[in-house]
Amino acid sequence: MFDKNTAGEVAGHKLAAEKHAPDKLFLASSNCGKLREYRSLAETFSSPRRIALELLPEIDRLPAFAENAPTFAENAAGKALHYSRFAEGLVFADDSGLVVPALGKAPGVHSARYAGENASDADRVRKLLEELREKKGAARQGYFVCVIALARRGKILGVISDRAGGTILDAPRGEYGFGYDPVFFFPMLGKTFAEQSLSEKNQHSHRGKAFRKLCDFLSSLSPETRVI
């Protein structure tokens, strides 16, 4: 039987362990590449509290969420809400894409399906450049958007967004990144997203800036909300 002093020490050790334990988040995705990118962002932005990221277990066996809403925020929030009902703990989901005002804000929420369901990144870039072939100057401006939603047990805790503005080039440049990165020129650095190092992209990309806001938001939550 513990005496009061021993019980107090045990409680103190437990509180200390919880204080230093990382915040655990489940990413509502089966995309290992996206998980690697978010883990890189967590290493950059999660100080002073660490964040441990994992894919939502067995997400491919769960009822799928149809991302067919007209806005990034609705898709992200709907996905986070849906999958948080199948998990113990914090679940986050994102929706992101490229917006070109001169194309009626296309590709927008259809960025991943812009050239068809089974199209490659090269196919999507090719279609985008064809749509912009006759456009010059300001008509080639665009921006990437990322919206992140955080949920727990069917309740939204927060919806966070950010963007990165640039210009669509008329030909790809760079070997890094993915999607529309090779034709998205970021004036501040004088490079496309596909020419930037990972550390540069983490600092300036839409996803990097949105995730940094998520880290700040997590630090403001009560310990009871953060702990599984």
Q: Which residues contact 179 (CB under 8 A, 6 or more apart)?
A: 98, 111, 112, 121, 124
Question: 40 or 161: which carries more pLDDT confidence?
Answer: 161
- 196 by Cβ neighbours in 10 Å (0-12 / 13-18 / 19+) ranks as buried
- Report in angstroms the alpha-carbon separations of 13 from 9, 52, 210, 227: 6, 21, 34, 16
What CATH number is given to the structural domain containing 208? 3.90.950.10
pLDDT for res 140? 98
* Mean pLDDT within 32-40: 87
pLDDT-derived band at 177, boundaries 50, 70, 90: confident
SS3 55: strand
Active-site annotation holds for 60: no
Tokens coding 51:
């964040």
Per-residue pLDDT reduced to its tens digit, 72-90: 999 999 999 999 999 989 9
Cis amide bond preceding 48, omega within 30:
yes
Residue 46 in contact with residue 215, Cβ under 8 Å? yes
Tokens of 179: 């999607």
Give the pLDDT confidence score for residue 17 in this predicted structure: 40
Range of the domain at 138: 4-226
Q: Which residue has the higher pLDDT, 130 or 13?
A: 130
Peptide bond into 63 cis (omega under 30): no
Annotated catalytic residue within 23, 95, 162, 181: 95
Please report the pLDDT score of residue 21 as a whole number: 57
Measured between alpha carbons, how far is 130 from 123 in angstroms, rounded to an integer?
A: 11
Domain count, the chain: 1
Tell me: the pLDDT tens digits for 109-137?
Answer: 999 999 998 899 999 999 999 999 999 99
pLDDT of res. 37? 87
